[in-house]
Amino acid sequence: MVRPYDLLFEQGLTRVDAERIHHVASRAIRVAAPVTGRTLRLPSMPVRALGLTFPHPLGLAAGFDKFAVGMDGLAALGFGHVEVGTVTGESQPGNPRPRLFRLKADRAIVNRMGFNNDGAVVVARRLAAWRAGGGSTILGVNIGKTKVVPEDYAVRDYEKSTGLLAPYADYLVVNVSSPNTPGLRDLQAVEKLEPLLAAVRRRADEVRPDHRVPLLVKIAPDLSDDDVLAVADLALASGLDGIIATNTTISRDGLASPAGEVEGIGAGGLSGRPLTQRSEDVVRLLRGRVGPDLTLVGVGGISTVDDARRRLAAGADLLQGYTAFVYEGPLWPRRIVKGLATDA
């Protein structure tokens, strides 16, 4: 059955630059929040993770709301938690446009946004006002390295963001896995990741001495299995609260899209359906290593209810989506949650 959104997407949205449509859609979601929130009826599927009670497993991955302006509207669509960012210590415009592309044949997106955001100072003010106004959606804040900051000073950059943003976050995510910031993925190496996570943990505890903010790390699907296991071991040894698996991939293997189209788009992180199997495999690998207690968030290629079921069966406690939300439309989170509820 062809849905109205499918026609809109194919006949209208795909004819316009992807980033422009993203901004239009984000504004529409914010404007519609009072109405969509009133009509939202979802089954109760509480999940206890990170010391929090999530209304259901499905949240929105970082990348959609980089500026932390749409949490209420996104929650009104049915997301049980919203992860904003990636936020960097300093504001930055990101990479030159065009930098967001669709691969329709693969139900995938390629982005090389480059952490465009307003910076930690501005986002912190925005979140403070949102919290003061009663904002209660479970909020994750994803932090990354400012592009112009040398790798030797990366820890300080993450500490700055942590100090400003931890007071308003329900959980923090250290992003060391985007392919669009030079040198960032090098920080996934355990010898560099360990002191970085320790510094972020210390700073979060300094600014929230009365409350321990859960800390997670987001990893790439391109890590070898051995490196995935090394991160798992580090997470256990360092008292990390969770791992988000996975970010976008730099691989272009096995795509249905014409090679010329893929080559014409160029570099960037690939998200969507092509990640489904690898992201599921990484979650399963992690769960086998860390045991039952560490929180795992499964993200990457979750499009259908069956995808969501398999990711939970592989060991994820929580799920996140982004690309499927783009391709499937505003009713997608409700469909996933209602589908999962039939299993309960």
Residue ranges of domains in the chain: 4-341
Residue 178 has pLDDT above 90, yes or no: no
- Binding positions for substrate are 66, 111-115, 175, 180, 247-248
Range 146-156 average pLDDT? 92
Catalytic residues: 178
Top mean-pLDDT range of 4-8, 14-18, 51-55, 147-151: 51-55
The dihedrals phi and psi of 177, each to the nearest 5 degrees, come to -130, 5
* Mean model confidence pLDDT for the chain: 92
Burial class (CB in 10 A: 0-12, 13-18, 19+), 253: exposed
Q: Give strand pairing partners of 142.
A: 173
pTM value?
0.95
- Binding positions for FMN are 62-66, 86, 142, 175, 218, 246, 272, 301, 322-323
User: Which token pair is 1?
Assistant: 């059955």
Strand 81-88 and strand 138-144: the pairing is: parallel
Q: Does domain 4-341 bear CATH number 3.20.20.70?
A: yes
- Binding positions are 62-66, 86, 111-115, 142, 175, 180, 218, 246-248, 272, 301, 322-323
User: How many other CB atoms sit within 10 Å of the CB of residue 68?
Assistant: 23
Residue 213 has pLDDT above 70, yes or no: yes
